[in-house]
């Protein structure tokens, strides 16, 4: 599948009620610690899905969250400003390999204080209708570390977590 076909399929999946943005609930304590440690008040959730988790978490954490997800029309425009922190939870492996560097650059260009990333390094259980695995970029954690280092030109603190 081409990157355009993948994005179109993700849009269809979103319309069908998938990708509600709840996965990050598993990591709210870890993210909350970073928010406190860095005194963050603004956060970009890069690949937020529908961002449903933030409806309850943002007020509890005392943070303003901006959601970005090209598959969700109301979140499809990537903000052109800086945020104290940027998180990207189980999204990178869904991005075609030829677009990974651009996505990481976009993440680091918007982070002032920290970046939190969770990536899955194995095939997904789900597939696109044509049989393509939904994790279109499955690479070992060291591969991801190298791509992240290339994008992190300002040496922003990064927490990278492998999601088994």
Predicted confidence (pLDDT) per residue in 32-85, tens digit: 999 999 999 999 999 998 888 888 888 889 999 999 999 899 999 999 999 999
Structural domains of the chain, with CATH: 3-162 (3.40.50.150)
Write the DSSP assignment of the chain as a string of letters. --HHHHHHHHHHHHHTT---S-GGGGGHHHHHHHHHHHT--EEEEET-TT-TTHHHHHHHHT-EEEEE-TTSGGG-SPP-S-EEEEEEES-GGGS-HHHHHHHHHHHHHTEEEEEEEEE--S--S-B-TTS-BS------HHHHHHHHHHH-TT---EEEEE--
Mean of the per-residue pLDDT values for the chain? 92
Provide the pLDDT for residue 9: 85
pLDDT higher than threshold 70 for residue 22 = no
């Amino acid at each position: 599948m081409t990157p355009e076909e993948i994005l179109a399929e993700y849009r269809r999946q979103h319309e069908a009620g998938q990708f509600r943005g709840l996965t990050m609930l598993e990591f709210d304590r870890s993210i909350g610690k970073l928010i406190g440690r860095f005194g963050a008040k603004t956060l970009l959730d890069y690949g937020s899905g529908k961002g449903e988790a933030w409806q309850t978490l943002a007020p509890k954490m005392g943070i303003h969250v901006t959601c970005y997800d090209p598959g969700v029309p109301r979140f499809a425009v990537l903000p052109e400003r800086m945020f104290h922190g940027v998180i990207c939870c189980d999204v990178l492996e869904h991005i075609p390999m030829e677009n990974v560097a651009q996505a990481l650059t976009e993440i680091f260009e918007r982070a002032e204080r920290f970046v939190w990333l969770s990536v899955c390094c194995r095939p997904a259980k789900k597939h696109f209708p044509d049989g393509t695995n939904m994790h279109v970029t499955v690479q070992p954690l060291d591969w991801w570390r190298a791509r992240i280092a290339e994008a992190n030109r300002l040496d922003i603190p990064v927490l990278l977590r492998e999601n088994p």
